[in-house]
């Protein structure tokens, strides 16, 4: 070290930049219980290299779709020496990539799925179940580079699997475009609490008591463990896992069977070598690997020497052709348990005929034994699945149709309604899982004013008007574009009976709204939104703009089971919590706000405004007798004349510091805006004397963001 400059040899950059494996102690290390608002700051415009003005939905409409299909078709048989195609065809490889991109979707919170291109980022790019899919995405790079901003990675990852199926003669309903890329990992998605790959500390008292909102059975898997639960080769126990997991991914028994049998009609599993020959996953590999992972030291590390899942062998004797080979072999033979070269549990047919043997992947002409996994055997041994398989075996056309429909659902479940489709070659059919809504009628300003007058004459209170509109619109989930006010499904089962929606009050309001809608030739959905605006205007004297043109869905257009998962167990905006959960009410508020695509400031102003308007299921946090939309709630919250004390779960009492008199009550959701330093900073902004008008204006903007969240037809 230089004596003249003792710091000359010290590191010139700030530690903790995450380019270095060491980092400084962070706030979370000191205060692990601190509420982390980062979930509301995901995908900020600063992360997007295309800028805030770039509109992908418009850009993709100018894409030469047929040209992309042609390039993908050529790629299927353009085998590359650095990662050769099994059987000379990349089709099965891309089917797996697409399946695993879309298959992370789960109904519990609508998160996951292929709608964002998130397979490019950690943790998904390094999950054990996604082994070697880094190569599939690299094979697609020349096509992505060619079509640039007109084709997102998210759309390309889905298109590739569909072209692969068509190229191999399989049935397909096509691809709808419109998926916009993200540019960094989705840290807000909860994939489980385990800290080891394939950990399964996610169950309660039974195998069916899987932690909500998870769907996969183990950390780092898309669906189930193909070797059986925790690697135990028990087909009937595996069937339980399959049914539970696929059910949480929006699939019934027939869809589950069709997807599995159809997907396993193609390709093979790879485990032709020792498991310990496989190197680190992409996120753990050295910088020189340039994003590649799972480098294998076994033989050539590719082709016949590839090790991915550890399971080894094809499912059929023609792995690059759509046929009945999978079902034919599964039901034709008895199967015995054995192990792959990597030590994984697999099943081989007993007494297989020469004609049912499969080709080796390298085109050498060598014949190899087909195999089944424990999960495949579950489809044969579980009585319900077996009956479906027997029916499909007798009716190949029904099997193909069931696969095409289930595959399309898998790939498009998180894209939302058809109004979100921005192009493509999809079959133009309405599916109930798309939550179809009839076209509504747009109202002019005179018609809106007439409806507001009728609402004013109805005798409904400000709180009733505002709460009904919030209950309807805030069912929206940005994760899978479901819910929302359009369709007025709040008047239908199951939503009309949700406890959080105060069914008796809701029925009273809706009865009045139905009459008003009929009298003014408007949809109930629009009347609900107009009613919320009218309530805010009455409480603020400010003008609240509204959009119209919503339609009213019917009960027949509403899947009861599918919508049941949208029921909020907590809604901090309404100060509602069903019971005490493992996570705090304020954490659940953040989750709800993120699903509504709100920023921290929008969440803050909405909570303060709703309390000022008298919205609180528990009664806590409502500190004034008359609802009035102003910033008084924040002023009262920051009042230094009181001391707060806990009095039971999620309930706090404020006492005047001088008199000791109890003066108001609050929940954890209320008090977090005074205790959390980031939220307090926002609360202080809205409590300032000079920001009264700003508070009202910001509340109305945030309110309309929620009211119009599902108006994809306007975006």
- Contact (Cβ atoms closer than 8 angstroms) between residue 305 and residue 362: no
SS (H, E, C) 551-588: CECCHHHCCHHHHHCCCCCEEHHHCEECCCCCCCHHHH
CA-to-CA distance for 512 and 448, rounded, in angstroms?
A: 16
CA-to-CA distance for 144 and 153, rounded, in angstroms?
A: 7
Residue among 325, 332, 47, 355 at smallest CA distance from 170: 325
**Is position 651 annotated as part of the catalytic site?**
no
- Contact (Cβ atoms closer than 8 angstroms) between residue 595 and residue 668: no
R_g of the chain computed on alpha carbons? 28
Q: Which residues contact 260 (CB under 8 A, 6 or more apart)?
A: 242, 375, 376, 379
CA-to-CA distance for 56 and 47, rounded, in angstroms?
A: 15
Catalytic residue among 100, 264, 345, 520: 100
CA-to-CA distance for 486 and 23, rounded, in angstroms?
A: 47
Question: Which sign, positive or negative, has the C-alpha torsion 689, 693, 694, 699?
Answer: positive
Between the two ends of the chain, the Cα-to-Cα distance in Å is 61
DSSP-based three-state secondary structure for 643: strand
CA-to-CA distance for 460 and 151, rounded, in angstroms?
A: 49
List, as one string, the DSSP characters of 13-36: S-TTSSSSS--PPPHHHH-TTS--
CA-to-CA distance for 697 and 544, rounded, in angstroms?
A: 9
Quick one: tokens of 72?
A: 């993908």
Quick one: tokens of 508?
A: 């009273």
Q: Return the active site residues.
A: 100
């Amino acid at each position: 070290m230089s004596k003249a400059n003792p710091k000359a040899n010290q590191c010139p950059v700030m530690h903790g930049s995450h380019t270095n494996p060491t980092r400084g102690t962070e706030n979370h290390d000191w205060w692990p219980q601190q509420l982390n608002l980062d979930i509301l700051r995901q995908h900020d415009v600063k992360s997007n290299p295309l800028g805030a003005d770039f509109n992908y939905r418009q850009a993709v409409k100018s894409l030469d779709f047929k040209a992309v299909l042609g390039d993908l078709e050529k790629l299927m048989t353009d085998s590359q020496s650095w990662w050769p195609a099994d059987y000379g065809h990349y089709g099965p490889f891309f089917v797996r990539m697409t399946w695993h991109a879309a298959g992370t979707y789960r109904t519990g919170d609508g998160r996951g799925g292929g709608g964002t291109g998130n397979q490019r980022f950690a943790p998904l790019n390094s999950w054990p179940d996604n082994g070697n899919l880094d190569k599939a995405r690299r094979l697609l790079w020349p096509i992505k580079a060619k079509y640039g901003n007109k084709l997102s990675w998210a759309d390309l990852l889905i298109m590739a699997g569909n072209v692969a199926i068509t190229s191999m003669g399989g049935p397909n309903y096509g691809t709808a475009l419109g998926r916009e890329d993200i540019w960094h990992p989705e840290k807000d998605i909860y994939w489980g609490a385990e800290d080891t790959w394939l950990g399964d500390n996610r169950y309660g008292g039974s195998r069916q008591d899987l932690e909500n909102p998870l769907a996969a059975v183990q950390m780092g898997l898309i669906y189930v463990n193909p070797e059986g639960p925790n690697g135990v080769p028990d087909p009937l126990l595996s069937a339980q896992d399959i049914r539970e997991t696929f059910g949480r991914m929006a699939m019934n028994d027939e869809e589950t069977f069709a997807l599995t049998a159809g997907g396993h009609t193609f390709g093979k599993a790879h485990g032709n070598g020792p498991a310990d020959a496989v190197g680190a996953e992409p996120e753990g590999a050295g910088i020189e690997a340039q994003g590649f992972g799972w480098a294998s030291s076994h033989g050539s590390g590719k082709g016949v020497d590839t090790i991915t899942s550890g399971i080894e062998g094809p499912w059929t004797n023609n792995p690059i052709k759509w046929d009945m080979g999978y079902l034919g072999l599964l039901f034709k033979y008895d199967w015995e348990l054995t192990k792959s070269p990597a030590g994984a549990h697999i099943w081989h047919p007993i007494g297989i005929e020469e004609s049912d043997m499969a080709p080796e992947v390298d085109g050498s002409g060598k014949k190899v034994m087909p195999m089944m996994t424990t999960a495949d055997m579950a489809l044969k041994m579980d009585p319900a699945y077996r009956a479906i398989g027997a029916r499909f075996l007798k009716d190949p056309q029904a099997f193909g149709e069931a696969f095409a429909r289930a595959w399309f659902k898998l790939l498009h479940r998180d894209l939302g309604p058809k109004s979100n489709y921005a192009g493509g070659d999809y079959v133009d059919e309405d599916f109930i899982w798309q939550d179809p809504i009839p076209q509504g009628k747009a109202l002019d300003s005179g018609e809106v004013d007439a409806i507001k007058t009728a609402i004013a004459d109805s005798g409904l209170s400000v709180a009733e008007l505002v709460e009904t509109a919030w209950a309807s619109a805030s069912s929206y989930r940005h994760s899978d574009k479901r819910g929302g006010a359009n369709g007025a499904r709040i008047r239908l089962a199951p939503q009309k009976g949700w406890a959080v929606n105060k069914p008796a009050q809701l029925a009273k309001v809706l009865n009045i709204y139905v009459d008003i809608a009929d009298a003014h030739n408007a949809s109930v959905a629009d009347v609900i939104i107009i009613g919320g605006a009218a309530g805010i205007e009455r409480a603020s004297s400010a003008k609240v703009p509204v959009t119209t043109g919503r339609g009213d869905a019917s009960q027949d257009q509403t899947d009861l089971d599918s919508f049941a998962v949208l029921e909020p167990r907590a809604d901090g905006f309404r100060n509602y919590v069903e019971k005490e959960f493992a996570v705090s009410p304020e954490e659940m508020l953040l989750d709800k706000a993120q699903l509504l695509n709100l920023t921290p400031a929008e969440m803050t102003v909405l909570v303060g405004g709703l309390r000022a308007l008298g919205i609180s299921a528990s009664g806590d946090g409502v500190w004034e007798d008359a609802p009035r939309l102003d910033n008084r709630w924040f002023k009262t919250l920051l009042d230094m004349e009181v001391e707060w004390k806990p009095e039971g779960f999620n309930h706090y009492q404020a006492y005047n510091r001088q008199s000791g008199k109890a003066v108001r009550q609050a929940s954890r959701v209320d008090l977090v805006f005074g205790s959390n330093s980031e939220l307090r900073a926002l609360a202080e902004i809205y409590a300032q004397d000079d920001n009264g008008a700003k508070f009202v204006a910001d509340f109305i903007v945030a309110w309309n963001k929620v009211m119009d969240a599902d108006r994809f037809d306007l975006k």
